[in-house]
Structure 1
Amino acid sequence: MKFKLLLLFLFAASINNMSAQDARAILDKASDAYNKAGGVTANFTFDTKDAKASATYSYDGKAYMKGNKFKIEIPDGITWFDGKTQWVYVKDTEEVNISNPSGDELQGISPSALFNIYKTGFNLVYKGEKKVNAKSVLEVEMTPTKKGSDVTKIIVQIDKATSIFSKITIIDKSGMQNILSIKNYQTGVNLADTMFSFDKKDYPRAEIVDLR
C-alpha cells in the first residue's frame, strides 16, 4: 500500500513539474516575442471588479512601448517613462508628478515589467488551451511564493498563434480583480525616444510637482 502511495505521489509530482515547465516555456516565448518586437502600440481595456461590492469600473486606453520605455494614455491622464524618470499628467488638475520609480513600483504600471514579472517569485501552472473570441489562447496561472503578498493570483492568457499577451488578470487578497485585455497589438512601429518623456511645451499650463 505504501509503495502504491509513493508511486501516486511521484506521478503527481512529475505532472506538476511538467505543468510548470510548460507554463514557463509559454511565458518565456511570449516575453521573448515582446522583447524582440521593437516599437509596439496596443489598444487595451482595463476593468476593475470588486466582488464584495458588486462594482465594476472600466476604461479604454492606448500604450506605446519600446523595451522598458512606455507611454500610456487613459481618459484621466497620461504617463511617460523613459527608462529612469516617470511623468504622470492628471488632466483634471493639469498637474504633472515627476518621480524615479523603484522596480516594485514599476511592476504595477510598466508593460515590460508586467510581461516579465513571472521570472521570479511565482509558482507557475499551465491551465490548458482555451477558445476566446474564436482565437486559441494558452492560459497560465501564477501564484506568489512569498506569504502575505497582496496579490493572491495572476492569470495570463497568451495568443497561441502569435505568442502575444492577450489578457492579464490580477487578483488581490480582498478579491478585487484587475483585468487588462489587449484589443489590438502592432509591432515594429517606429517610435522616437522623445515620445517617452514629458515635454513642457505641449502642456504650458501644467503645474510641475517634482517628487524625486
Structure 2
Amino acid sequence: MKNVFLALLSLLFVLPAFTQTDRKARTILDEVSAKTKAYKTIRIEFTYKMENKAQNINDSFKGVLISKGEYYKLSFSGQEIFSNGKTVWTYLKDANEVQINNVSKEDDSFTPNNLLSSYNENFKARLLEENSKQQVIELIPVQKKNFNKVRVTIERARKIVSSITIFDKNGSTYTYTVNKFETDLPFTDSMFVFKTSEHPGVEEIDMR
C-alpha cells in the first residue's frame, strides 16, 4: 500500500509523458505540470482513501506533505517520512523507531520532482469531462501494469491537481484528495532531515 500511496502523491508534482494522447488533454497536463514545478515550496493537506467493495474494505486517513525541490516530508497514519534527496528516514511513532535508507533509484521510488520516469512513460490520455470548475483526464497504461487506469481531476482556475484515483486490477480504488494547497512557504532544508535529538530513546535501524 505504501508504494501505491507514494505513487499517487508523485502524480501531483510531475505528470507523465504520453505515447497516444488527445491534444487538449496533453495541453492541460503540460500547463498543470509547468505551473506546479515553478513553485519553490508546496504544502498539501490531503485525504487518502482505499476502497474495495467486494472485500468490504473502506479505509481512509488524513496527512500532510511538504516539498522543496527533491526534498519532502510526508506525515500520515502514525508515520513520518523525511527525505533530503539522498537519505530517507521513515519514523514509526508508535514503535519510536526510525528506518534509514538511501533514496531509491528504482522505478517505484517517490520524489516530488520525478514522476516515476520510466514507470509512467507510456500512457494514453483523454479528456473525460470539462466544466467551469474542473477538468477530468483519464490515463490508460499502454504496457501491462497492476492497475487499469488513473483518473486525474484538475481544478481549472488554479491549474492544480485536486484528486487522483488509481483503479487496481483487483477491484480496489486508491484515491488521493487535496484538502488544502499552499505554495512558496519558507521551509528550511533542516525540516527534511530526521533529528534523533527530538525523539528521545528512538531506535535507529540503518538499512543503507
- TM-score if structure 1 supplies the norm length? 0.81
Matches within 5 A, 1:4-43: 20-43=22-45
Question: Does residue 108 of structure 2 align to residue 105 of structure 1?
Answer: yes
Would you say the 8 A contact 1:31–1:115 is kept in 2? no
Q: Which residue of 1 aligns with 2:190?
A: 194
Question: Does residue 93 of structure 2 align to residue 91 of structure 1?
Answer: yes
Q: CA RMSD in A?
A: 2.1
CA distance in 2, matches of 1:48, 1:92: 22
Would you say the 8 A contact 1:169–1:177 is kept in 2? yes
CA distance in 1, matches of 2:126, 2:183: 28
Render the CA deviation track for 1:139-198: whole Å, top value 9, x for unaligned.
111111112x11221110111001111101112111111100000101111111111111
Matches within 5 A, 1:1-212: 20-100=22-102, 101-107=104-110, 110-114=111-115, 120-130=121-131, 136-147=133-144, 149-212=145-208
CA distance in 2, matches of 1:117, 1:179: 22
CA distance in 2, matches of 1:192, 1:203: 20
Secondary structure in structure 1 of the residue aligned to 2:194: coil
Moved over 3 A (4+): 110-119
Count of residues in correspondence between the two structures: 188
- TM-score if structure 2 supplies the norm length? 0.83
Structure 2, unmatched stretches of 5+, are: 1-19
Give the partner amino acid of 2:134: V
- Return closer, same or farther for 1:117/1:33 CA change in 2, 3 Å cut-off: farther
Shift of 1:204: 2.5
Percent identity at matched positions? 29
Give the partner amino acid of 2:136: E
CA distance in 2, matches of 1:21, 1:56: 36
- Return closer, same or farther for 1:192/1:162 CA change in 2, 3 Å cut-off: same
CA distance in 2, matches of 1:94, 1:42: 25
Structure 1, unmatched stretches of 5+, are: 1-16
Question: Which one has a larger percent helix, Structure 1 or Structure 2?
Answer: 1
CA distance in 2, matches of 1:161, 1:118: 29
- Return closer, same or farther for 1:114/1:67 CA change in 2, 3 Å cut-off: same
Would you say the 8 A contact 2:108–2:119 is kept in 1? no
Q: Which has the larger radius of gyration?
A: 1
Shift of 1:103: 4.0
Give the partner amino acid of 1:194: S
Secondary structure in structure 2 of the residue aligned to 1:32: helix
CA distance in 1, matches of 2:82, 2:153: 26
